[in-house]
Amino acid sequence: MTTDLAPGPKVDPKIAATADFLDTRLGISKMFKGLGRKLFPDHWSFLLGEIALYSFIVLILSGTFLVFFFVPSMNEIHYPHDALPVTMQGQPMSEAFASTLNLSFHVRGGLFMRQLHHWSALIFVGAMVIHMLRILFTGAFRKPRELNYLIGFLMLITSLLAGLTGYSLPDDVLSGNGLRITDGVVRSIPIIGSYMSFMVFGGEFPGMDVIPRMYALHILFIPGLILALVAVHLFLVFWHKHTQYPGPGRTDKNVVGFPLFPIYVAKAGGFFFIVFGILGLMGATMSINNVWNYGPFDPALVGAGAQPDWYMLFLEGSLRLMPGWEVVIGGFTLSLNVLIPAVVIPGLLFTILGAYPFIHNLVTKDTGEHHVLDRPRNAPTRTAIIVAVLSAFFVLLGAGANDLIATHFSLSLNAITWAFRILFFVLPVVAFVVTKRVCFGLQRKDRELVLHGHETGRVVRFASGEYAEVHQPLDEFERWVLVGQDLPKPLEIEPAEDVNGVRRPGHTKELRRQNLSRFFYEERVEPVTPAELAAAHATGAHDALPASAGRDVHELEARSH
Amino acid sequence: MKALAASRRHRLAPVILMTLALFLTGAVYAALAPSSAQANSASADDIEEGRRLFITNCSTCHGMDAEGSDTVPSLIGVGAASVHFQVITGRMPMDADAPQAGAKPPQFNDEQARQLAAYVATLGPGPGIPGEDVVDPELGNAAEGMQLFRTNCAMCHNFVGAGGALSNGKYAPALDDSTPIEIYEAMITGPQSMPVFNNANLNEEDKRNIIAFLISQREPNPGGFNLGSIGSVSEGVWAFLVGFGLLIGAAVWIGARSS
């Protein structure tokens, strides 16, 4: 009887037994049926979030190693005379700093783990920022993903806190200076500032409490919070299904891509090892945060070129740009020179960043679900706003490194500072206008391409003497991407007074909203409509000249020479 | 004689003979080699040659008697160390009217620089060129030197002497190519924007410790490439160039079989 059965795929009995064991206890076959067939669209920019996730895993693994050897204590000891490095022998320092040196120089693989941890942190925050920019540029934050955007934003803020607390742990001069600046920023907050500073440091800066406190936050609370947010974030990605770039057959009602199993399990799993490998290479070959060069913290010391890690550099930059304004009100000093650059500016930046999807909803009154992404050129105002904010961010980064720019390019520090002060206000405006124009230009180029096809570089002459270039019409797959965009219309409101001359209630509020909507959507380049396409094909016959006809004319032209 | 002849073939004989030969060579060299020129021990010929070099190369700005002017410093009493430092690092003669005279390939060799220094030293008393043992990093304590460097020097020269910016185009140069003598002379004479660290605030031993620390920084970094030793900004730039260069490259590769 068995010989009559169709030969199925041969399964190793051991694998079959294991699968059966797991299936009867965990129901994995159901999981595979459901999750394994889930589709994900393919694009390199969808892997940016994965870089952040994987570097976070590397952070947890390397961080766990460091916890075994780090002593979070500010008790003073003298570094042993027989321990490396030579320059630290016999120096007074905190146990935190001594244990950092010990794990760097005397624990096997310790320095590698420290460097791996620090490089992963830089890449982790960097990947999150680039991922967020991708989301903003392509409009992936639109309904139904606003809340998931907010969770991602919270992860970014939490990670900045993780970076700040981690950077402060080794108790070297740079980390101590970073804490001193944090202390100054907290104190600049009116009324509650000095109380908050005493609360954070358990007394006068630096005190004995701050490193144990930062340690608890850094190794327990913050990573736990990030992990929880990661879980919700990923669940929502599954729940909402992944967005996709516009392409043939892709709509807001489907997902075109490859199944999770086996394609994406292999791709994502492989990518984890690639990320781990690249981070490992960086940790093994590129030195980072050489604390033994900075030495143990001493509030009196500072070195030239003292800057925070890149994700805090914009704050350093805004502090460096700010003129020294102070106001004394009734005997109390209001330190505008710290309050504005270190509290107001980042506060504004992060509020706009976090609230952007909701601002978008408010402006567009868009209630539809969006699963197909925008090409950045098709949302010119939004793209221009992002570029403008980015340009201000880059000015602040440059200002944070103004001393290095001065020494490496032989410039005057004072001139650079003034240039950045002006650029901080001027560059975003220029960037906004230029980006918007570039977007419109690209949209017009898309229209041109759809209406007339690709240039072929073949110029033909007709019998009448007219010259024309032969254009290759687009196939419909290519055309899909160029005409599919859905541009919201600017809001149209009813007139201020009705036919009887009675003022309409709530008109001014609507007028404000209309102005905002016009700012976003009034100036526009419409995508090509089918009617326009048909008209172009009918009138511009020579543009769509078949290749063979073109060649005939070409030969005619050649003969005439 | 017979005993000597017999021990000629002893197995330690070559070692002893070689040692004696080395001692002899060393002694002859020490007796015959020219002792390193000191400003105070310069011969009259050196001073005369230095004066000739000064008149030809320096007097245009500093004046025939090194008296200086409103914009150019007088050299009377600056001492041999100052002249030797400025000339041997190529800062003088100055090549352009910049906020600061930068180091460049020197125009004079060490002998000429010492002759110039010897001449200027005759114009007024000032710090002399240090002897080799005064600046020998082997005799210094790098750990003590690091403490002193962090307290006195790092705010301008960076933690490991990689250099830093000062106001209006001036700067504290990187110290990774400076010789021990140059470092010592800079401390004792305070060239350009640098303050003078005389023996009252950093004694000779302190100076030698600082030199020992700076020389110890030239050993390879235990963590790998030092990325310029300028801290977090270069680390951030490298994270984006190398890290994201490779990571996004890999991401594009993985996402390349796109539909």
Give the SS3 label for residue A342: helix
Low-confidence ranges of chain A (pLDDT < 70): 1-9, 539-561
One domain for residues B141 and B107: no
Residue B140 is assigned to a structural domain of this protein? yes
Which has the closest alpha carbon to A175: A341, A338, A309? A309
Domains identified in chain B, total number: 2
Q: Which among B99, B146, B223 has CB closest to A290? A: B223
Total-model pTM: 0.86
Give the start-to-end residue ranges of the domains of chain A: 47-251+272-296+312-374, 375-487+524-561
Contacts of B101 in chain A (CB under 8 A): none
Q: Is there a contact between B239 and A411 if contact means CB atoms under 8 Å apart?
A: no
Contacts of B164 in chain A (CB under 8 A): 303-305, 403, 407
Q: What are the residues facing B165 on neighbouring strands?
A: B171
Residue A534 in tokens: 């048909």
Cα A116 to Cα A63: distance, rounded to the nearest angstrom: 9
DSSP of A491-531? P----SB-TT-PBPTTHHHHHHHHHHHHHHHTS--PPPPHH
Q: Which of B88, B121, B154 marks a domain boundary?
A: B121
Domain holding B200, by residue range, is 132-216
Spatial contact of A117 and A219, defined as CB atoms under 8 Å apart: no
Q: Which residue did the predictor score with more confidence, A507 or B237? A: B237
Cα A215 to Cα A66: distance, rounded to the nearest angstrom: 12
Q: Is there a contact between B226 and A290 if contact means CB atoms under 8 Å apart?
A: yes
* B111-115 mean pLDDT: 90
ipTM of the complex: 0.85
Task: Answer whether A423 touches B (CB < 8 Å).
Answer: no
Which has the closest alpha carbon to B145: A14, A295, A54? A295
Least Cα separation, residue B230 to chain A (angstroms): 6
* B236-259 mean pLDDT: 87
Residue B235 is assigned to a structural domain of this protein? no
Least Cα separation, residue A378 to chain B (angstroms): 22
pLDDT of residue B251: 92
Q: Is there a contact between B224 and A286 if contact means CB atoms under 8 Å apart?
A: yes
One domain for residues B168 and B114: no
Q: Please say whether the dihedral angle defined by the alpha carbons of residues B131, B136, B141 and B143, taken in this order, is positive or negative.
A: positive
Distance from chain centroid for Cα B107: 16
Q: Which among A86, A294, A407 has CB closest to B143? A: A86
Which has the closest alpha carbon to B171: A407, A415, A402? A407
Give the SS3 label for residue A462: coil
Q: Which residue did the predictor score with more confidence, B3 or B211? A: B211
Contacts of A86 in chain B (CB under 8 A): 142-143, 216
Contacts of A278 in chain B (CB under 8 A): 243, 246-247, 250
One domain for residues B111 and B151: no
pLDDT of residue B39: 44
pLDDT of residue A7: 61
Residue B226 is assigned to a structural domain of this protein? no
Report the length, in residues, of chain A: 561
Q: What are the residues facing A333 on neighbouring strands?
A: A328
Residue A234 in tokens: 């990923």
CATH number at residue B72: 1.10.760.10
Q: Which among A111, A271, A282 has CB closest to B242? A: A282
pLDDT of residue B180: 92
Contacts of B221 in chain A (CB under 8 A): 287, 290
Contacts of A42 in chain B (CB under 8 A): 255, 257-259
Q: How far apart are the first and last CA of chain B?
A: 99
Judging by DSSP bridges, how do beta strands A92-94 and A467-472 pair with one another? unpaired
For residue A47, CA distances in Å to A10, A43, A149, A264 come to 35, 7, 16, 11
Residue spans of alpha helices (H) in B74-217: 80-88, 110-121, 142-152, 154-157, 180-189, 204-216
Q: Please say whether the dihedral angle defined by the alpha carbons of residues A14, A15, A17 and A22, taken in this order, is positive or negative.
A: positive
Residue B250 is assigned to a structural domain of this protein? no
Q: Is there a contact between B159 and A303 if contact means CB atoms under 8 Å apart?
A: yes
Residues 178-197 of A with CB under 8 A from B: none
Q: Is there a contact between B222 and A105 if contact means CB atoms under 8 Å apart?
A: yes
Contacts of A427 (CB under 8 A, 6+ apart): A391, A392, A395
Task: Answer whether A91 touches B (CB < 8 Å).
Answer: yes
Q: Is there a contact between A301 and B154 if contact means CB atoms under 8 Å apart?
A: yes
pLDDT of residue B8: 75
Spatial contact of A154 and A225, defined as CB atoms under 8 Å apart: no
For residue A359, CA distances in Å to A25, A145, A355, A435 come to 48, 14, 6, 20
One domain for residues B149 and B202: yes
Contacts of A275 in chain B (CB under 8 A): 247, 250
pLDDT of residue A276: 96
Cα A265 to Cα B77: distance, rounded to the nearest angstrom: 78
One domain for residues B138 and B212: yes
Backbone angles phi, psi at A540, to 5 degrees: -85, 60
CATH code reported for the domain at A47-251+272-296+312-374: 1.20.810.10
Contacts of B142 in chain A (CB under 8 A): 86-87
* B63-78 mean pLDDT: 87
One domain for residues B82 and B52: yes
Cα A458 to Cα A468: distance, rounded to the nearest angstrom: 8
Q: Is there a contact between B236 and A313 if contact means CB atoms under 8 Å apart?
A: yes
Spatial contact of A315 and A342, defined as CB atoms under 8 Å apart: yes
Spatial contact of B252 and A44, defined as CB atoms under 8 Å apart: yes
Cα A53 to Cα A118: distance, rounded to the nearest angstrom: 15
pLDDT of residue A555: 43
Q: Please say whether the dihedral angle defined by the alpha carbons of residues B10, B12, B17 and B18, taken in this order, is positive or negative.
A: positive
CB pairs under 8 A between A and B: 199
Residue in chain A closest to B159 (alpha carbons) equals A303
pLDDT of residue A71: 95
